[in-house]
Amino acid sequence: MSQRPGFELLVAEHQAMVARICASYERDRDLCRDLSQEVWFAVWRALPAFRAEASLKTFVARIAQFRAISHATQHARRPAGETLSPDLVDQEPQPDHLAIASAERGSLLAAVQRLPLPYRQPVVLMLEDFSPAEIAALLGLSANVVGVRLNRARGLLRALMEAS
């Protein structure tokens, strides 16, 4: 197999982030997996252009965001499910506190999925531990705009999570 050295490692290291970004834009499990594959194929093709001006994580996140938004726009006419696909978030077994934690995670993902696109993008990156400055550079926005969007998004997230 003719793969770039280290690509498998890159996938293993950042697949969780890519999967979460994809899940923020696609509720259907199969489509989410297809999207994830699409993202990694794009990363593989773009990898020769990586110049280490930013981290590999930023590089992967940028491509994942682009593909995910493009996917969301492409499928915008498809009727959106009102609820989160139950099999998207890993279900953990029996003990009550684990079940509650799992439900909280599910409700956070569901809330993120319901955010309008301009808010969802910085929120997803923020939750993936990017700094506001990195988010601004990645999204081509000013730091002020990112700050404003994050602030509004936080309020929306809180309201959505309380409502659910």
Partner 1 sequence: MNPDDEEEWKAMKKNWQRTSVAEILMTQQLRWGLRLRMLGSWIYLGFEMLSFLLVTVLGVIQLAMGQAGAGSLFIALALVCFGASLWARRSTLRGASSSLPELVDLSLRRARRGVRMAWANYFMTAASAACVLVLYLSDIGDAGAAYHDDARVGVAMILFALFAVGVGVYHAYARRRVRRFLQMREQLNPRGGE
> Rule CB under 8 A: which residues touch partner 1?
1-3, 11, 15-16, 19-20, 22-23, 29, 32-33, 36-37, 40-41, 44-46, 48-51, 53, 59, 62-63, 65-66, 69-70, 73-74, 76, 87-90, 101, 104-106, 108-109, 112, 116-118, 121, 126-129, 132, 137-140, 144-145, 147-149, 151, 154, 157-158
| Minimal distance, residue 15 CB to partner 1, in Å | 5
Looking at residue 88, the DSSP 8-state letter turns out to be: T
Q: Is 113 exposed, middle or buried (0-12, 13-18, 19+ CB in 10 A)?
A: buried
| Minimal distance, residue 82 CB to partner 1, in Å | 19
| Minimal distance, residue 149 CB to partner 1, in Å | 7
Judged by beta carbon, residue 53 or residue 96, the one nearer partner 1 is 53
Judged by beta carbon, residue 66 or residue 83, the one nearer partner 1 is 66
Judged by beta carbon, residue 79 or residue 130, the one nearer partner 1 is 130
Give the Å distances, CA to CA, from 141 to 59, 89, 99.
Answer: 17, 31, 38
Rounded CA-CA distance 75/19 in Å is 18
| Minimal distance, residue 111 CB to partner 1, in Å | 10
| Minimal distance, residue 162 CB to partner 1, in Å | 13
Buried b / exposed e across 70-109, counting CB within 10 Å, b at 16+? Answer: ebbeeeeeeeeeeebbeebbeeeeeeeeeeeeeeeebbbb
Rounded CA-CA distance 66/155 in Å is 25
Judged by beta carbon, residue 132 or residue 164, the one nearer partner 1 is 132
First to last CA, the chain: 47
Rounded CA-CA distance 99/101 in Å is 5
Judged by beta carbon, residue 70 or residue 80, the one nearer partner 1 is 70
